[in-house]
Structure formats: structure tokens, C-alpha cells
Amino acid sequence: MIDELLRQRHLPDLLRFIDGEKVTRENWDKRREEIIRLLSQEYGDLPPAPVSVNFLQKSEESFCAGKANLVETILICNLKEGGEFSFPVKSVIPVKDEKQPSFILINFHDDVPDRYLPSEELCDLGFAVHSFCYKDITSDDENYNGKLASFYCGKKENLERGKIALWAWAAIRVLDFVLTLPETDPEEIALIGHSRLGKTALLAGGLDTRFTTVISNNSGCSGAALSRDKEGETIKKIFNRFPYWFKSGYGEYADKEHELPFDQHFLLALCAPRKLYIASAALDSWADPLSEFLSASAATAVYELLGEKGLDSDNLPPEENVLLHEGKIGYHKRSGTHYLSRFDWNAFARFIKTGC
Ligand code: GCU
């Protein structure tokens, strides 16, 4: 049934190079580079890594009845083109001696806790969490006056890269920071984002293999969901409203999804063989849970090529609130609407802790 639904979407084959050569375990790295080049037609390339990043601790206070410390750090990035770009990161770090698994959250707000960031619950589950507010990186609109956007986006009429690429670049700088902390277990660093920031998490996490788990929550169009025959939001709709999230040429695929030389399962496949989690919400028809699920299913081919189980399901999207955690690609369809809920966080923590 899943195979038949995937066939009907006429997806480009992950396991064939553009010139038709077959992809094998041996040449996967080369294919991965080709996929990254293809996807840059959508988001543009990330800006270059800074020459160096300095970390300035601004404050530290005891938090959650003494179970954790809340630390605010300023990341000062020395840009390749000259000048500095700084932004704050808030960390909740459990007080304990051993190395800890961490989440890096790309968030809509800078509050800790926040409706999307249950920091005390995560601390009780043994996780450190580091969050930053995407608006501290660049505004979520067509303004290109800020330092990063004026350096790296180019002209509004011909954007070299969109704002998703800038937010993704910042998530990678937070990873640079987290890796310097003595408490961090480098084998367990999960990147997570919701909605437009889920698209961002997939891009950053797909590109930088130091993230050991990548989590997309309700990321939908131009995120986890397949673009071909997608319900709800389409390339035309997203590009009309948010052209500045993308590289300019992406809009040419509006109503021409079948001409795309890739689809969103290419983005998911960049995470292979690392842990990847795609979470949908049952009433989120704009994001289209079925297209998110099928995309995870299509990316499974690369996990299998690399000797891992991907999405472990022969059935159509499982019942609501059932956790598919058997393979390296986790999935659930939570009941309710578009949101990053406690249910989602608990499922992600469990997937990471119980392993696969
Ligand atoms: C809009 C947009 C989506 C996006 C969402 C969000 O609904 O159309 O693509 O995911 O905003 O980020 O909340």
C-alpha cells in the first residue's frame, strides 16, 4: 500500500545519480554531495562558516529548584567577510557529574521556559537544552538590512539564499558552542524545530553530521512533506507568501512540482544513517501528515543502503499517538492541531533514550 502510494507520486530516485549511475554504499558520500547541490536550488547554500566563534557568558543562575543552571551566553561570530555577528543562547543544564544528552531548539521566542520549551521537564528527563530565538538571527520578513541578511541574501529580486539558510547557519554555530561544554555528550545532540523552524532544523541537521539526531515537528511544505501531489500548502502558496525563506529560483517550480529534480525525501536522506524524527499532527492538513509520512518512508531507501532500518512501518500512517520507534527514523502523528506539545517532546526524548 505504501509502495503503491509512493509510486503514484513519481518521485525522483534517491539511489540514482543525475547521470543514471547506480548509488551504492561505497559512492553514497558522492551522491550526498550531489543531493546537497540539488537542494541548494531551494534554500541556497548556507553562508560560509565564521573564521572563529567566541563565547561570552553573560549570566548564570540556579534554576528549577537547584536541579539545573540557567546560563545565557553570547555567541560572537567573526565573519569571513569581516565584522562580527552576535546572538544569545539560553541553556538549561542539569546539575550532575556525568555527560548529558542535549537538545538544541531553534525557537520562535527567547523565553525559557516557553510554551514550546518545557525546560524543567527536559531537565527531569536528564537533557540539557540550548535554545535561541530565530528573530535574533534575522527578521522573519522581507527586510534585508540586518548584518547577516545584508551580507548573505543578496538582492530581494534575486536572492542567493533565503532566511531559512541563515537560521540554519546559526543552529550550526550553537552546535559549535555546545560541543565546547564539558557536560555535553557529543554522541547525543539533537536538533529540533517546529514548523518553519522544523524546515530549518532539517536543513541544518541534514548538512552538519555532528548533530546525532534531527527532529522535524510539523514542518510540512518545503520541510519534511513531499512536494509532489501534496495537500494543503504547495510551493506556489508558500513562495507567494514567504519568498524570502528561499533562493529566488525555487518559485519557478510553483505548480510544476513534477519537474523538480529532487523532492523533500532528498533532504531527509541527508540525515542517514543518523537518527531522524518526523512528527506530524493529525489536524494539520496545511502541513499534510500523509506527505510527511511518505517522505520518511521514501528516505528509508538510503538508511537500508547504509545497513540501517529507516522508518519501520509497512502500514499507512499509524493510528494517532502511536510511536513508530523501531528504526532510525522515528515517526508519530499526534492528535490535535499544529503545535509543539509535551506529547511530542516526550516522544522525542524517549526515542533518543531508548535508542533504536
Ligand atoms: C505558515 C506557513 C508554513 C509554516 C508555518 C509556521 O503556516 O505556511 O509553511 O510551517 O507558517 O512556521 O508556523
Architecture of domain 2-50+95-354: 3-Layer(aba) Sandwich (3.40)
d(CA 55, ligand 1 centre) in Å = 32
d(CA 141, ligand 1 centre) in Å = 13
d(CA 44, ligand 1 centre) in Å = 19
Task: For residues 60-72, give the mean pLDDT.
Answer: 98
Q: Which whole-number Å values give the CA distances from 6 to 43, 278, 297, in the listed order?
A: 24, 17, 9
| Conformational region of residue 131, where left means phi above 0, alpha means psi within -120 to 50, and beta covers everything else | beta
pLDDT at residue 165 tops 80:
yes
Beta-bridged to residue 133, according to DSSP, are 107
Decide: residue 297, CB within 10 A, 0-12 exposed, 13-18 middle, 19+ buried: buried
Using CA atoms, how far apart are residues 333 and 225, in angstroms rounded to an integer?
A: 13
d(CA 338, ligand 1 centre) in Å = 9
pLDDT score, position 355: 65
Domain residue limits, the chain: 2-50+95-354
Q: Whose CA is nearest to atom 12 of ligand 1?
A: 196
d(CA 196, ligand 1 centre) in Å = 5
* Average pLDDT over all residues of the chain: 97
pLDDT score, position 335: 98
pLDDT score, position 314: 78
Q: What are the tens digits of pLDDT across the range 281-324?
A: 999 999 999 999 999 999 999 999 999 999 988 778 789 999 99
Q: What are the tens digits of pLDDT across the range 105-141?
A: 999 999 999 999 999 999 999 999 999 999 999 999 9
Using CA atoms, how far apart are residues 284 and 336, in angstroms rounded to an integer?
A: 8
pLDDT score, position 299: 98
Q: Is the dihedral of CA 200, 301, 256, 339 positive or negative?
A: negative
Using CA atoms, how far apart are residues 216 and 137, in angstroms rounded to an integer?
A: 20
Query: Distance from CA of residue 118 to its chain's centroid?
Result: 19
pLDDT score, position 317: 75
pLDDT at residue 268 tops 90:
yes
Rounded CA Rg of the chain: 19
Backbone phi, then psi, for 54, in 5-degree steps? -105, 150
**pLDDT class of 60 with cuts at 50, 70, 90:** very high
Task: For residues 268-289, give the mean pLDDT.
Answer: 98
Q: Whose CA is nearest to atom 4 of ligand 1?
A: 196
Q: What are the tens digits of pLDDT across the range 197-246?
A: 999 999 999 999 999 999 999 999 999 999 999 999 999 999 999 999 99
**Mutation test residue for ligand 1: of 233, 280, 338, the one with most atoms within 8 Å of CB:** 233
Q: Whose CA is nearest to atom 3 of ligand 1?
A: 196
Ligand 1 atom, smallest distance to 241 CA? 8
Q: Whose CA is nearest to atom 7 of ligand 1?
A: 286
Ligand 1 atom, smallest distance to 238 CA? 8
pLDDT score, position 68: 98
pLDDT at residue 14 tops 80:
yes
d(CA 284, ligand 1 centre) in Å = 11
pLDDT at residue 278 tops 90:
yes
**Mutation test residue for ligand 1: of 195, 246, 283, the one with most atoms within 8 Å of CB:** 195
For 65, half-sphere exposure in the C-beta direction (CA atoms, 13 angstrom radius) is 4
pLDDT score, position 243: 98
d(CA 216, ligand 1 centre) in Å = 13
pLDDT at residue 78 tops 70:
yes
Q: Whose CA is nearest to atom 13 of ligand 1?
A: 195
Q: Whose CA is nearest to atom 8 of ligand 1?
A: 238
Using CA atoms, how far apart are residues 340 and 218, in angstroms rounded to an integer?
A: 8
Share of the chain above pLDDT 90, in %: 96
pLDDT at residue 356 tops 70:
no
Pocket of ligand 1 (CB under 6 A): 195-196, 220-221, 233, 238, 286
Please measure the distance between the N-terminal and C-terminal CA atoms of the chain and give it in whole angstroms.
25
Q: Which whole-number Å values give the CA distances from 58 to 55, 73, 113, in the listed order?
A: 9, 5, 18
**Mutation test residue for ligand 1: of 140, 196, 203, 337, the one with most atoms within 8 Å of CB:** 196
Amino acid at 250: Y
